[in-house]
Amino acid sequence: MKTVATRFAPSPTGPLHIGGVRTALFNWLYSKNKGGKFYLRIEDTDKERSKEEFKDQIINSLKWIGINYEDGEYIQSKKIDDHIYVANELLKKGLAYKCYCSSDEIEEQKKRAKQKKIPYIYNRKWRDKSETDYPKEINPVIRFKSKIEGKSILKDLVQGKIEIENNTIEDFVILRADGSPTYNLSASVDDHLMGMTHIIRGDDHKINTFKQIQIYEAMNWEVPCFAHIPLIHTIDGKKLSKRDNASTLDDFSSIGIMPNALRNYLLRLGWSYKDKEIFDLNESIKYFNLEGIGKSPSKLDISRIYSMNEYYIKNINEDDLFKFLKTYCETSKEKIPDSAQKKIKNSLHFLKNKAKTLEDIYKNSQFLIDDKFQIKKEDKKLLDKTAINIIKLFIDDINKISDFNRKTLEPIIDNLIKSNNTNFKGVGQPLRICLTGSRFGPGIYDILCSLGKEEVYKRLSQIG
């Protein structure tokens, strides 16, 4: 058995969206599961639309979510000579031919087909012409001689058998009038040269596969296995596209979604293994297979992304969580000051219980960093005379204790509740407001203990 080799081959003509990332993930997981290799190929042969920034964005996205690839990026535009060479080989073998139709002529035919409501297919006008007929003044395109008769069968690893009449596949262009190769040529040549064994891609490529297989066969190359995965749809059931609002990984990371959570979500979108929902990295490699991929498109559901993220926040170890938080703050908020790092890390055990996202942790941890908060008007109203009095009594009480922890604080607060004839809220609410600037947030004891005696004293003394 050959070593499994897969690739992800995006074109840098727009930002990579979450659907593309899932395709990359499936390829990566498949190769890892088989002990194989995974490559990244940048398909940048469209010079006009390819942008360096998109290439960088693709690379960074894969890096962020933890998909690594062999040997750096394979840049397709650097291999154009190989593609042209193959085109000429096909020409020599008589398996491709020069077509002298002008673009206008082709456009005209398409238009007419549309008017008559009949399917357009190139009429193979130059397929069997001899060289003596060639006009001198036009640069020809090279077309592949597609099979005209019979059927082709694709044994797709996800979709099963797909049958198609050969005459529905036209003589497609492999070399443009300017001599540059087109997608179907470049992709097959590269996949062959890179030794790809399995091509896993969106099912929008199904028809291309029938074209590409013909190129393989014409060149006597071994045909790889194909697996066409259903596309991800938007909530209104349309294919995720580079234009209109298709979410990128940046969109998710900037609201505090963690890469491992998104990876898990993406894995389970259109793939399943029994009833299992949570897959850590090793498990996802261990269990991933092509059989588990469903045949129907699936819709992106943001609430599941949140809940997956929440699960990871609550269940990964706090060292890792803190690393994610640190990175998140640096890239999307502001760097956590050195002086606050330890405090926040030590507070994660309660901060994480209130968080769905890293942003939630960030927000709820602000009181640890910043004591110059503004108390909201409606909160200030709650700080009436009795409340202020309770706070003063509390200050006196904590000055009497040397150890400052839950055990020593509980009796103090209990006493205050009794002596002021109030309930926990009557004491807790004013304290929380004065210490954090908000009615909402962590538990009172968590706030007190994480700030420490001195800071609590300092903040409370300013009130009144």
Partner RNA sequence: GGUCCCUUCGUCUAUCGGUUAGGACACAUGGUUUUCAUCCAUGAAAGAGGGGUUCGAUUCCCCUAGGGACCGCCA
Nearest C-alpha neighbor of 31 from the set 237, 197, 205, 172: 197
72/180 Cα distance (integer angstroms)? 25
Contact between 318 and RNA per CB under 7 A: no
Rounded to the nearest 5°, which phi and psi values hold at 17? -105, 180
Contact between 439 and RNA per CB under 7 A: yes
Contacts of 388 (CB under 8 A, 6+ apart): 430, 463, 464
Q: Quickly list H helices, 141-246.
A: 183-193, 206-218
Would you say 80 or 341 has its CB closer to RNA? 80
**E strand or H helix that includes residue 348:** helix 338-351
Site for RNA in 13-52 (CB under 7 A): 13, 43, 45-46, 49
80/183 Cα distance (integer angstroms)? 11
For residue 133, give Cα distances in angstroms to 24, 100, 257, 310: 47, 10, 63, 69
Pairing of strands 151-156, 160-165: antiparallel
444/199 Cα distance (integer angstroms)? 56
Site for RNA in 371-410 (CB under 7 A): none
Pattern 86-105, binding to RNA, x per CB under 7 A?
A: ---------------xxx--
**Which of 147, 299, 326, 392 is the binder for RNA (CB under 7 A)?**
299
Would you say 180 or 341 has its CB closer to RNA? 180
Supply the DSSP symbol for 181.
B
Least Å distance, CB 380 to RNA, is: 15
Would you say 296 or 402 has its CB closer to RNA? 296
Place of tokens 């998710």: 252
Would you say 64 or 183 has its CB closer to RNA? 183
Contact between 216 and RNA per CB under 7 A: no
Beta bridge pairs of residue 112:
none
Contact between 321 and RNA per CB under 7 A: no
Contact between 424 and RNA per CB under 7 A: yes
Site for RNA in 239-268 (CB under 7 A): 239, 268
Least Å distance, CB 2 to RNA, is: 25
Length of the chain, please?
Answer: 464
Contact between 124 and RNA per CB under 7 A: no
51/332 Cα distance (integer angstroms)? 24
Would you say 165 or 217 has its CB closer to RNA? 165
Contact between 426 and RNA per CB under 7 A: no
**Which of 110, 381, 407, 458 is the binder for RNA (CB under 7 A)?**
110
Nearest C-alpha neighbor of 205 from the set 158, 144, 149: 158
Pairing of strands 173-175, 141-144: antiparallel
Contact between 330 and RNA per CB under 7 A: no
Least Å distance, CB 335 to RNA, is: 25
Nearest C-alpha neighbor of 259 from the set 73, 60, 32, 29: 60
Least Å distance, CB 42 to RNA, is: 9
**Which of 95, 145, 147, 159 is the binder for RNA (CB under 7 A)?**
159
Contact between 119 and RNA per CB under 7 A: yes
Pattern 162-181, binding to RNA, x per CB under 7 A?
A: xxxx--x---xx--xxx-x-
For residue 337, give Cα distances in angstroms to 75, 342, 344, 370: 41, 10, 10, 10
Contact between 117 and RNA per CB under 7 A: yes
Q: Are 4 and 198 in contact (CB under 8 A)?
A: yes
Least Å distance, CB 298 to RNA, is: 4
Would you say 184 or 197 has its CB closer to RNA? 184
Least Å distance, CB 276 to RNA, is: 8
Contact between 289 and RNA per CB under 7 A: no
Nearest C-alpha neighbor of 184 from the set 195, 192, 173: 173
**Which of 51, 124, 125, 205 is the binder for RNA (CB under 7 A)?**
205
- What number of chain residues touch RNA (CB under 7 A)? 88
Would you say 234 or 327 has its CB closer to RNA? 234
Contact between 314 and RNA per CB under 7 A: yes
